[in-house]
Structure 1
Amino acid sequence: MKDFLEISKYILPSLVVFMAAYIVIRAFLRREHQKQKMDLYLSNQQEITPIRLQAYERLILFLERIHPESLIIRENTAGLNNQQFQQKLVNAIRTEFEHNLSQQIYISPQLWTQIKNAKEAMVQLINAEALQLIPTDSSLGLSKSVIEAHMQLQKPPIDIAINALKEEIGLIWK
């Protein structure tokens, strides 16, 4: 028993020192791990934020490019009839959309849905207005009716998507 007490005098303090050292080292390693994670996160943010902003810029540009006034001015060529112009407008919208498909990874799914809805609403508007006109008439009639129909919309889907984009950009800076 005396030997056990003698050994305990040396082992017990060393166990206490060992446990204290273990707790201190474990806490230090946890803090270092958290610091490394935070540094990695900040580093990623510094690289990703500019890319995300570029994606928002490209999507705003896409929405502005498919706006009826800019789309019609950009795509109108002399000598086209309503049917040809309708096809040209719809193809231009789809091409613009395809060029920006990859931007969806940088925005929220809800925002991407609004952008797709704006694109589809424009295609539907153009197709609906083209159905009301004689296909062989001058493209001027389609231009006029598309712009007028868009102006009559209470909340144009393009404007809704642009506002949603701006709101989501605002969330980045908070």
Structure 2
Amino acid sequence: MASFSEYLPYAFALIIAIPFLVLLRQFVHSYISLKNQEIKLLTVKSNSGNKVHSYERMTLFLERIKPSNLIQKFDKELAVHEFIFLTEKTVNEEFEYNSSQQLYLTKNAWKNIVDSKNAVIELLHTTYAGLKGNSDLNEFKTIFIMNYMEGNDYIAETIEDLRKEILIIT
């Protein structure tokens, strides 16, 4: 039969080891917890970064479809109907290229962007219909700009709405 004194070194080692094991467990637990928080923050930051990028891209799209910027595109020797066709094609292609950005925008923001794009295309066609095909490209561009300026500046309003929304997000 073994005496108590034979087990004393083992008991002493166990008494010393238990606090270290408890501290090690707490350290590992807090380390894992902090890493999880870091991952969550990086995910949120990444998502907000995607949102900010989307708002930037759609603002750039809206700037590009402003009539003052559209009239500077393409050859000055085009017929009016050719200019309208190429302009509409360019606007639609750029819109389609950016359409994935709707994932990061609010429904209202996306609706305003779509409405602005459609309004510019409609303005192209109504301006052309108002001229009845009796003008050159420079006259068409001038009337196109004047029609836009006389109406509601829906592109500037949409950009302002995007600006307000992005301030809320960031």
| CA deviation map 1:24-67 (0-9, x unaligned) | xxxxx9xxx99787544322112222222111111000000000
Counterpart residue number, 1:170: 167
RMSD: 2.2
| Counterparts in 2 of 1:150 and 1:34: CA distance versus 1, 3 Å | farther
SS in 1 for 2:92: helix
Partner of 1:101: 99
Tell me the secondary structure at the aligned position of residue 131 of structure 2: coil
Aligned pairs for 1:134-145 (under 5 A) are 134-135=132-133, 137-145=135-143
Letter paired with 2:41: L
CA distance in 1 between counterparts of 2:36 and 2:70 reads: 46
1: distance between equivalents of 2:81 and 2:62? 23
Q: SS state of the match for residue 77, structure 1?
A: coil
Q: How does 1:1-174 map to 2 (within 5 A)?
A: 38-73=37-72, 75-135=73-133, 137-153=135-151, 155-173=152-170
- The answer on whether the counterparts of 1:81 and 1:137 sit within 8 Å (CA) in structure 2 is no
Which segments of structure 1 move beyond 2 Å, counting only runs of 4 or more?
Answer: 33-41, 134-137
Q: Take 2:87 and 2:133, find their aligned partners in 1: how far apart are those partners?
A: 14
Gapped regions of structure 1 (runs ≥ 5): 1-28
Once residues 82 and 135 of structure 1 are traced to their aligned partners in structure 2, the CA distance between those partners, rounded to angstroms, is 8
Per the TM alignment, residue 113 of structure 1 is displaced from its structure 2 partner at its CA by: 0.3
Gaps of 5+ in 2: 1-28
- SS at structure 2 position matched to 1:76: coil
Total equivalences in the alignment: 142
CA distance in 1 between counterparts of 2:39 and 2:128 reads 54
- The alignment's TM-score, normalised by the length of structure 1, stands at 0.73
8 Å CA contact 1:114, 1:161 repeated in 2: yes
Alpha-carbon distance in structure 1 between the residues aligned to 2:79 and 2:130: 14
**Does the CA contact (< 8 Å) of 1:129 and 1:145 recur in 2?**
yes
